[in-house]
Amino acid sequence: MPTDHTYREILTANQFGRKMGESFYWGCTTRTVQESKLFPVSAYIAGSYLNAFYRYPELLRRVIERTSPEEIGDRARQAGIPINTILTYVVQQFYAGGRQIMLDMGMLRPSDVLDDVLLVYDFVERVLTSFHRNHGHVIPQDANMKNAVHSAQQTERFEAEAIGVTPGDRLHAAFSKFMPAVSTYGFLSHCECRLSFFNHGPYKTEGGHQMLVRDAINLAENDLPWLDGIAAEIPYNNLTAAVIMKDTDFNIVDDFGSFEASPSYDNDNIVALGLYTSDLLSDGYIPVHMDSPEALAELLEDLAERFQRATGELWQLMAGWTRTQMLEAGLLVYSGVGREFAHIAGIYEQDDWWQVDDQVRRFYPLLNDEYGNAIVGELVGYLSLSTQQLSPHHVERFNGGRGEMWTPIPYSVLVDDDWTATVGDMSTGGSDLPPKTGLWQTTQGKLTLEELNRRAREFKPTGWDLRHYDDDTFRKAHPDDRRPFEAIGAMVESGA
């Protein structure tokens, strides 16, 4: 019996999957070192892909029942909540990775779990398209590696509020110390992966300068259970630094949130900066201690010390973990990237995102370092798995080989090929990690999960009803209309 899905649905999914696979290959082979002396990174990556395969379909269906993918993308762009390009982008990549491993093991056919594949691909594409509405593309690679998601109104606000600095002054020195402290802390707290830090832009500013917007997320007590207590003195869960630089061209700001600049990034070229916090309960970006250069410098100095202390405590904690705990921690950080969708919908449950599915735990004997390195290397580095190979005449976009990362859906399911709809409901799960016991740090204080979910369901940004005025085309046609500024939740003197 043919599937009820349409030819267009499968065409769209296969095109999206090919584009995403090409982008992921480029990122994995040019931007990432998947190795650690502490965590079994390759093994936990492989495990995370399998966990995504078994859990994402049901979890995303629950989100869709409460809110649309487009609303999530709009909220993320407008309110500054910690959803960015990479956290959304890798939901599809990790799910597809689990599917590909199952295909290569012979446990799945390309025509299986058809409903699941179409749902995950469609969900991610819709969130990214909405999030990148002002950008006009789905992923940065579509735009020659540019990732400018904000409207002119928002970037004008960042520029107008930025505080000037010069090399050697207190604020410049404090920021130069703060950035490595927060990035080191985020890298370790996320089990030595890049998911805690993201850059987007560039944006042109006055004087021919460029602005890079830099996000650090999951800093305080939050979903990560091992931050309970250790991060109790971190007052902000998410921080955004808007950094304006002279004599610097950010020629690459990619799908992974990393960048290249010409000449190389140099702190001495920073001319102005601002610092903000935000989350799913904030009404846009909230300035943090930006009343004066001295106030901001004092905060950055204090935060740098707090992050350094917390990093030391994390090292001591994680050094006592078993290999299984390290495997599960990294696995769950990776496969948990989509949990912010559930937070926005107000349906987040800790066990949904912080347990390893029992169907994945049966693979633990395979997930040693040797197998982890081999499967991840072949899957996303060499494109050498047998299921990835196409015709001998095929030429892959970046490496010229015959392999493509993600196997498409066969069109024969529209006629008479056998197919299955879904992997089914999630199984039970578990973890050797200590459970989450603390509260959640938000812009409205520390909250229980019940209260956080309730407020998320009730929250509506003040500019939400004006979000369709928040674009450059409307503003150009209506230069005196204030609604574009009201849509971002803050007025900008330069644009009023």
The CA-CA-CA angle for residues 329, 334, 340, to 5°, reads: 110
Q: How confident is the model at residue 475 (pLDDT cuts 50, 70, 90)?
A: confident
Question: Residue written as tokens 């500024």?
Answer: 485
Which amino acid is residue 241, in one-letter code?
A
For position 496, what pLDDT does the model report? 32
Closest to 333 measured CA to CA, from 488, 179, 176, 187: 187
CA distances for 178 relative to 96, 260, 277, 291, 314, angstroms: 36, 21, 15, 18, 18
For position 489, what pLDDT does the model report? 67
Q: How confident is the model at residue 493 (pLDDT cuts 50, 70, 90)?
A: very low
Which amino acid is residue 150, in one-letter code?
H
Question: Residue written as tokens 């040019």?
Answer: 30
Question: Residue written as tokens 């290999």?
Answer: 323
Q: How confident is the model at residue 488 (pLDDT cuts 50, 70, 90)?
A: confident
Contact of 203 with 211, CB cutoff 8 Å? yes
Per-residue model confidence as pLDDT tens digits over 189-225: 999 998 999 999 999 999 999 999 999 999 999 999 9
* Structure tokens, 360: 């994945």
Burial class (CB in 10 A: 0-12, 13-18, 19+), 136: exposed
Residue 446 bridge partners (DSSP): 441
Which amino acid is residue 220, in one-letter code?
A
Burial class (CB in 10 A: 0-12, 13-18, 19+), 362: exposed
Q: How far is 213 from 119, CA to CA, in rounded Å?
A: 31
For position 48, what pLDDT does the model report? 98
Per-residue model confidence as pLDDT tens digits over 86-114: 999 999 999 999 999 999 999 999 999 99
Burial class (CB in 10 A: 0-12, 13-18, 19+), 257: buried
Give yes or no for residue 491 having a pLDDT over 70.
no
Question: Which regions of 110-208 does DSSP assign to beta strands (E)?
Answer: 163-164, 197-205
Which amino acid is residue 130, in one-letter code?
S
Q: How far is 152 from 3, CA to CA, in rounded Å?
A: 44
Q: What are the extents of the domains in the chain?
A: 7-142+322-430, 145-320
Alpha helices in 221-357 (DSSP H): 293-319, 323-335, 339-345, 350-353
Q: pTM of the full predicted structure? A: 0.96
Question: Residue written as tokens 């802390």?
Answer: 185
